[in-house]
A and B are shown apart, each in its own frame.
Chain A
């Protein structure tokens, strides 16, 4: 319990140790710790940014999806409408075509009927003339009565 030179020697040792710590121990570790803190802070900030971007992307994608759905519905509606239109048009065209065919067929039939009638008339006239000739063989001279015969034939043809 006596104060002596040890005190001064210990104070010197203490001073040297403080100098050593201040100069060689503290700064490198502090630098490392600070650098790491910065890295961690940067990482956290980047993570936060990434999360935010992901949120935005999600929102965007859902928007796009919604839009696409709406467009698809519209397209389907349009297509359906167009389909019915096409069907209606086709029906109309078909009907017109049918009508035209019918009209053509009717005309054909009439024509056939007319030519059959004509042929029949001619035939009947010849028959009548032949019959009349048979009946009138003697009294009728073809040359004399040609006028009368041709007018008769004309009448029959009508």
Chain B
């Protein structure tokens, strides 16, 4: 019972998916989702800070268990990047991939937390009525990441090929150099450049948001009676276990797409 108003399915779902907002100034755009920002920043600071604390004392000799754990993650990412990106990956791409994987994984993993218990804690411990736990169920987060990657993609395109080279590529690939094909090429590239951040961000958002909705539906079923509670619990547990896979997989896919996009920007056709 997270809310004092009468509980209907709509209000239940609404309650769990409403952000805590802060109006910076007038206008629909100048709204800040405080919960999304704070949760994600805390997660980023904790996970990357944890890695930093361990890495600071990294030894080339026999690693401690914690260092070995971090090394495992880093080498896993490094191997994936090595297979896709050919160039000096240590300067930027590999650490970026690590950041994305760890951060997105942590944000996604928030949906394993039991929603109603968390809602109760937010309400009664912190006095917050609305607090969305999972930052990646906020489309702003996924779009922020995808658009950052998109800008990085354009940045590396220009950096590697030069502005002229990039424009040349926009007009002359993939169909050919013939001036008659320029418009077609540009249209094709335009669609590609629009679809990349959309698919990149919405894939992550959709998966995690849908997962959260399923949790909410199961939570509602659990409120219908004794059999609903039993099945809701069982299915909720099953869905949570399944979500361990989804959470990791989506973080991995998001990271891999980032690496692929950035390495595509490095390679000329």
A residues within 8 A CB of B59?
A: 32
Residues of chain A with a CB closer than 8 A to B96's CB: 18, 21-22
Is B61 a contact partner of A36 (Cβ separation < 8 A)?
Answer: yes
Asked if B28 contacts A29 (CB within 8 A), the reply is no
Number of interface residues of B (CB under 8 A): 46
Bound together, the chains give a CA A28 to CA B138 distance in angstroms of 34
Residues of chain B within 8 A (CB-CB) of A33 are 60, 71, 74-75
A13/B98 in contact, CB under 8 A: no
The answer to whether the Cβ of B126 comes within 8 Å of any Cβ in the partner chain is no
Interface segment, one of B47-55, B116-124, B153-161, B230-238 = B47-55
What B residues does A20 contact at CB under 8 A?
48, 52, 99
Contact, CB under 8 Å: B98 / A17: no
A24 to B48, CA, bound (A): 10
Once A5-B30, A10-B36 are accepted as A-B contacts, the answer to whether A39 and B95 lie under 8 Å apart by CB is: no
Closest residue on chain A to residue B102 by CB atoms = A21
Are the C-beta atoms of A4 and B140 separated by less than 8 Å?
Answer: yes
- Pair A5/B141 contact, Cβ less than 8 Å: no
Contact A28 B148 (CB under 8 A): no
Q: Is the interface of B mostly helix, strand, loop or mixed?
A: helix
Known: A25-B48, A26-B95, A29-B74. A7 touches B140 (CB 8 A): yes
Q: Are B52 and A35 in contact (CB under 8 A)?
A: no
> Are B58 and A4 in touch, CB under 8 angstroms?
no
With A18-B96, A20-B52 as known contacts, state yes or no: A6 contacts B37, CB within 8 Å. yes
Give the dominant DSSP class at A's interface. helix
Per the bound structure, the CA–CA distance linking A7 and B24 in Å amounts to: 14
Q: How far is the CA of A4 from the CA of B143 in the complex (A)?
A: 11
Docked complex Cα distance between A6 and B147 (Å):
13
Instruction: Say if the beta carbon of B257 comes within 8 Å of chain A.
Output: no
Quick check: is A151 within 8 A (CB to CB) of the other chain? Answer: no
Instruction: Enumerate chain A residues within 8 angstroms of B74, measured Cβ to Cβ.
Output: 26, 29-30, 33
B90 proximal to A (CB < 8 A): yes
For the complex, give the distance between the alpha carbons of A4 and B145 in Å.
Answer: 14
- Interface flags for A25-53 (1: CB within 8 Å of B; 0: not) read 11111111101100100000000000000
| A21 and B98 in contact, given A4-B30, A14-B145 (Cβ under 8 angstroms) | yes
A2 with B28: in contact, given A13-B37, A21-B48 (CB under 8 Å)?
A: yes
Beta-carbon contacts of B25-40 to A below 8 Å, as 1s and 0s?
A: 0001111110011001
The complex places the Cα of A39 from the Cα of B33 at a distance, in Å, of: 49
- Kindly state whether residue A15 has any CB partner on chain B within 8 Å: yes
Contact A11 B32 (CB under 8 A): no
Please determine whether B141 and A6 come into contact, CB atoms closer than 8 angstroms.
yes
Within the assembled complex, what's the spacing in Å between the Cα atoms of A13 and B44?
9
A144 within 8 A of B: no
A3 to chain B, nearest CB (A): 6
Query: Considering the chains assembled together, what is the distance between the CA atoms of A26 and B41 in angstroms?
Result: 19
Inter-chain contacts of B40 with A (CB < 8 A): 10, 13
Selected A-B contacts with CB under 8 Å, 20 pairs: A1-B139, A4-B28, A4-B140, A5-B31, A6-B144, A10-B144, A13-B40, A13-B44, A17-B99, A21-B48, A25-B51, A26-B90, A26-B94, A28-B56, A29-B70, A32-B59, A32-B60, A33-B74, A36-B61, A39-B60
Q: Could you list 13 further interchain pairs (A-B, Cβ under 8 angstroms) beyond the known A4-B32, A4-B140, A6-B144?
A: A4-B29, A4-B30, A5-B24, A7-B140, A13-B144, A14-B103, A14-B144, A14-B148, A17-B103, A21-B96, A26-B95, A26-B98, A39-B60
Which residues on A are within 8 Å of B, measured CB to CB?
1-11, 13-15, 17-18, 20-22, 24-33, 35-36, 39
B residues apposed to A, CB below 8 Å: 24, 28-33, 36-37, 40-41, 44, 48, 51-52, 55-56, 58-61, 63, 67, 70-71, 74-75, 90-92, 94-96, 98-99, 103, 135, 138-141, 143-145, 147-148
Closest 3 CB pairs of A and B: A10-B144, A35-B60, A6-B140
